Structure 1
């Protein structure tokens, strides 16, 4: 299918789905098949073998079985957003019908589109695009890296530990002299 046939759009999602609990977007499935034609054999086998299990696993999805005469079999999936998807199951084995039904169950029901952008925001940034030097001093732009003075923790005043050690008259831990002077 060419790109002209698939519409362009921005990223969209079903709002609030999964907040609190997941809501399956598939509302209703209709299995249309013929009782006599050989092209409906896979759909009839699916109904006999797998349909009861599918309905037990998905109690929120209504399943209709609709026999039609002398027509090719197909599935019709209806979603909560009002869209319908139709899949022809002509000459498909039961396993493939099961895979298509699972595909329809896990879809959101939104139309398949080419994405214009991988992201979308309703409130674009007034600051522009973020970069590593966004809120930094402009003089860093000319600094050659690695610069050791930029990597240490910056403290404006003495820490409480430094004040206690000063009052006690003890040198900082890690100094060889402080360990030998205690002995």
Structure 2
């Protein structure tokens, strides 16, 4: 079987290489991946039982569940967010075009560009809608609660969650760049 020009064999599949991303796209993907880190660190600190500024019933609620099942919850939530943020890098790295070999049944197979674009586009849309909706509605109401963190603790909490506002838009920009590069 002859390999057509411009296609290189990789593992089980012949892959038409996606053009190399521009430097700005790589930096944008890295920024998208890093937007989830501060909120994850804040949740881990909360899960470890460090006082983060809650008072009254909220302090009692978090004091009862953290550490314990609440810790497991915030660790898993933070881990999932970090994993999803890390996947942003797949749009600018080779492992986003061909699945890594150690994956059972799928390793070494080509990722169809339309799948990557669809999943990343839906993810960017979902993250943007959820984060922006939460910041304009529930976040504002919750932060006005007298038992929520205020002063320095409120500033730190807000500063840790604010980068999430950029996650969806940054992912959307990298997705459009990936789509542009992968078109035949």
| Same fold at TM > 0.5 | no
Structure number having the greater helix percentage? 2
TM-score (norm 2): 0.23
TM-score (norm 1): 0.23
Higher-Rg structure is 1
